Structure 1
Amino acid sequence: MSVTKAGTGARPEEREAPRAGGQAGSATAALTAAVLGFFVITLDVSGVNVALPAVGRDLGGSLSGLQWVADSYTLMFAALMLSAGALSDAVGARRAYAWGLGLFTLASLACGLAPTVGALTAARVVQGSAAAVMVPASLALIRQAFPDPDERARGIALWTVGGAVAIAAGPVLGGLLTTEWNWRTVFFLNVPAGLAALATLARAARSARQPVVFDLPGQVTAVLALAALTFAVIEGGHHGLTTTVLSAAAVAVVAGVAFTAVEARRRAPMLPLELFRQRGVSVPVVAGFACNAAFYGGVFVLSLYFQEQRGQSAFSAGLMFVPMAVITAHFNYFSPKGVSRFGPRSVVVAGLLTGAVGCGGLAAVGTGTPWWVTAALMIPLGIGGALAMPALTSLMLDSVAAERAGTAAALLNTSRQAGGALSIAVFGALLAGDFARGMAESLALAACLLVANALGAAALLPRRR
């Protein structure tokens, strides 16, 4: 993707319009809409995870089918986000966000009405595609609304709080809705929330357009590589190394190589590879992958563990996430203060190591472990992401030019969602045999991944920025 400054070439009607309630009111509207939208799209990960056993009982889905219900969303979320960043730059962040939010709301309605696992998975594909448009546009909105770096850091922290609260509290809400009504209400909840976000967005300032060139070969190869890899991991875990699984793995490798070759040779690539030469870009991309792999994968495994192994109801399982949810929300806001005082390196490393402690402790729990011990061990996992992600996001956006904000936001969140999708695929495959052993191996793997990234961040990032 090629992005240049709009300059005087931007059409007058697409330049930033006067803000009806003043600059502060318009910025608040943009931030509120961005936080609310990010909350609902993240809620559709954690809230749906705790409802998966009920979906399986109602629609007759197998474990692999339930993995696809979860992964079809995160897969499209990850695969389309780079092009979605280009769309945000091309049509303006506010317009792109409105398109994505409207489509997400309609897809949520379709999910709630789905008669089969296949129909639900298809609707989740549309949901994930819409979410891919929303995330880079929401971050671009925040960057536009808050040009001052300190104010922007606080805005990003609040945006991250919305996602952190959703992914941590989602199991509680999803469990309550599933237990008291049914799993379909988890999706129906998005409809009024989406309409409220659209109403708030109308009060935000218009966004300037940026000239872009869409990279169709890069997008096709990216989708093919991620989809084939996810298919190979999920199906391989349940059926072994069949011809179909090996073929899918081969397609993933070929498509991945093709994607790299296309992006290196195109004059207007979707993903400018030179971005990775900046440590302020490469470290957040890799560490963001690790954070989401640990968190998304952990929530997926624990949701099944509470219900399938401990025999808890969906609501009871959701309540296990309450301590983590409450504490996570507070630490998201502490992160920018820590960055201002100690620099991003210290905050990122501390967050990654804290998350690793949580995963390591959870790897040792079993059906006989007291519930309060398990709940307590989940807290460091939430704190780790709450500390690291705001710092990583601010570091990423501060490392690129303003006109590449959409691309940078898309790249970071592509990496994060890919981490979530692949962790669900890998952890689900490990659970397919002996659940207890698979759970321990999954969480130990997540802990090792976080420790490795903490060491990498400590070595590559400067002590102060």
Structure 2
Amino acid sequence: MEQATTTARDVAASSAPARQGRPGLALAAVCLGFFMILLDGSALNIALPAVQQEMHGSISALQWVVNIYTIPLASVLLTAGNISDRWGARRLFIWSLVFFTGASLLCALSSSLGFLVGARALQGVAAGGLLPTTLAIIARTYPDPVERAKAITLWGATGGLALVAGPIGGGVLTELLGWRSIFLINVPVGLVTIFLTVRYASETQTRAAKSLDLAGQIVGVIALSSLVAALIEGGALGWSAPLTLGLVALAVLGIAAFFVIEKRSSHPMLPLAIFRRHAFTASITNGFAFQFGGYGMQFMLAIFVQEHWHLTAAQTGVLFLPFSISWVFGTIVLARRLVSRGPRWLLWTGATASLIGALLVLGISDESTWPLLAVGTAFVGLGCGVFSPSLNAAALLSIDPNFTGLGSGVLNTARQIGMAVGVALLGAFVAIQDTLLGTRLGMALVAVCFLTIVVLSVRYVPRKER
């Protein structure tokens, strides 16, 4: 068992209530930070064609703009949790906010796609530091379990609000002020969030954490980046191109090396023993499939309707409103009312609704079929809203209670990897010469993802929470 060690300052911080007696403002800071990192992705999807038009980039370049944010975010999540234990969640949250705000300003000032991709990479690293610290700060701010549960509910609702605000806000901002405003708005919001955190949030307790698995971290980033790059460049250059084949080989070698390192490491970033439980492995696969289908679909369809149907960014945002609103309704209303049925029931019923929606979207053709797209994506959003809150519950039911933090970290990492791979692969489909055929093939793959969740949930996920 790890021995907790604290400094005098940490002891004082951990024994005191939230600074200035304003826990609500500390919660507001955490929710604003969480809102920023979720809003950024959903708003940018709508603005990507505008970025492409100004920067004269290809579909593969747009995939990099999205994935260069997701890859580092996914890669540093587990390590960020370890750093938070050593440094304190509040301190890591503040510094991550500083870097995220600065990187957002760099994105807004980008003069080329290469500059934008580099700034987005910095954003992704900062977001990877923000995400795992939010719940730790909430737990410190609200020691009472009832109050903490209410705070976490508000935190979760923030994610739903970002999902609704992203498409419509991104469309309106792009139309009125240009795509750069999507990043520029993060600057004042980030500064307000930093102020609230410094003034009102209390530091979490620090402890002597395990040694950092630097070798696993570096090789894991190389493996994931090579895999996503192979999918992106394969769609742009061809699957037999030397660069594509080289990236595939590097990804395979990197994945193999990563598992060897984790098996031999005394303090592995990802202990492989946790995958011996089939139910946990199924839950991690579900998390990957969810993010691949739900978020990869949004990227692909946003490109499709603006390039093939010639919709504006604002029109695209409106078209995605049924998807976003039904997702929030499924999460805040249905999932909360039906939670007593257990995670397995919520997973398979929600994924079934999303599967129906994906199959409906398969029928789209020209712009006259927009009602079919709106209804189909609404079903996808409703289903995702119902089952996505149960992904964590299902994963934690399937793992030793002593490793719940690790299990949650692995699940969130798998989800972010699913998003990166989904954007890369579905982007390759929409980039083929027959855009409609590629979109339909992509939606068929999205349907397979939701079908996988149905099957694995029925087969492996326990009926009720312990």
Q: Same fold (TM over 0.5)?
A: yes
Q: Deviations over 1:439-463 (max 9, x none)?
A: 1111110111111122111211211
State the one-letter code of the partner of 1:164.
G
Q: Per-residue deviation at 1:264? A: 1.3
Equivalent in the alignment of 1:178: 174
Is the 1:140–1:406 Cα contact (8 Å) retained in structure 2?
A: no
Equivalent in the alignment of 2:344: 345
Is the 2:216–2:261 Cα contact (8 Å) retained in structure 1?
A: yes
> Which structure exhibits the higher relative contact order, with contacts defined as CA atoms closer than 8 Å and separated by 6 or more residues?
1
Match of 2:183 among 187, 194, 197: 187
CA distance in 2, matches of 1:281, 1:143: 25
Match of 1:207 among 204, 207, 210: 204
State the one-letter code of the partner of 2:89.
A
Equivalent in the alignment of 2:459: 459
CA distance in 2, matches of 1:402, 1:231: 36
Q: Deviations over 1:415-435 (max 9, x none)?
A: 111111111110111122111
Q: Per-residue deviation at 1:162? A: 2.2
Equivalent in the alignment of 1:66: 62
Q: Residues 38 and 261 from structure 1, CA distance in 2 versus in 1: closer, same or farther, beyond 3 angstroms?
A: same
Q: Per-residue deviation at 1:310? A: 0.9
CA distance in 1, matches of 2:175, 2:161: 21
Q: Residues 403 and 144 from structure 1, CA distance in 2 versus in 1: closer, same or farther, beyond 3 angstroms?
A: farther
- Give matches, 1:16-35, under 5 Å: 16-20=14-18, 25-26=22-23, 28-35=24-31
Equivalent in the alignment of 2:114: 118
Q: Per-residue deviation at 1:384? A: 2.0
CA distance in 2, matches of 1:271, 1:153: 29
SS in 1 for 2:203: coil
Equivalent in the alignment of 2:98: 102
Structure 2: unaligned runs, 5 residues or longer: none
Greater shift in the superposed pair: 157-166 or 94-103: 157-166
- CA root-mean-square deviation: 2.4
Equivalent in the alignment of 2:293: 294
Q: Residues 403 and 78 from structure 1, CA distance in 2 versus in 1: closer, same or farther, beyond 3 angstroms?
A: same
Match of 2:215 among 189, 214, 217: 217
- Give matches, 1:7-406, under 5 Å: 7=4, 9-15=5-11, 16-20=14-18, 25-26=22-23, 28-145=24-141, 155-202=151-198, 203-212=200-209, 213-240=211-238, 241-278=240-277, 281-334=280-333, 337-338=336-337, 340-396=339-395
CA distance in 2, matches of 1:398, 1:141: 24
CA distance in 1, matches of 2:415, 2:63: 18
Is the 2:18–2:141 Cα contact (8 Å) retained in structure 1?
A: no
CA distance in 1, matches of 2:31, 2:427: 30
State the one-letter code of the partner of 1:464.
K
Is the 2:216–2:269 Cα contact (8 Å) retained in structure 1?
A: yes
Is the 1:156–1:393 Cα contact (8 Å) retained in structure 2?
A: no
Q: Residues 191 and 402 from structure 1, CA distance in 2 versus in 1: closer, same or farther, beyond 3 angstroms?
A: farther
State the one-letter code of the partner of 2:234.
G
Q: State percent identity of aligned pairs.
A: 35
Query: How many aligned positions are there?
Result: 459
CA distance in 2, matches of 1:43, 1:79: 20
Q: Deviations over 1:191-228 (max 9, x none)?
A: 12222222332312320113221111100111001100
CA distance in 1, matches of 2:81, 2:271: 13
CA distance in 2, matches of 1:430, 1:21: 51
Q: Per-residue deviation at 1:379? A: 1.1
Is the 2:289–2:452 Cα contact (8 Å) retained in structure 1?
A: no
Is the 2:347–2:391 Cα contact (8 Å) retained in structure 1?
A: yes
CA distance in 1, matches of 2:90, 2:190: 15
CA distance in 1, matches of 2:230, 2:404: 33
CA distance in 2, matches of 1:314, 1:54: 8
Q: Deviations over 1:147-197 (max 9, x none)?
A: 677765554443333223323431211111111111100101111222222
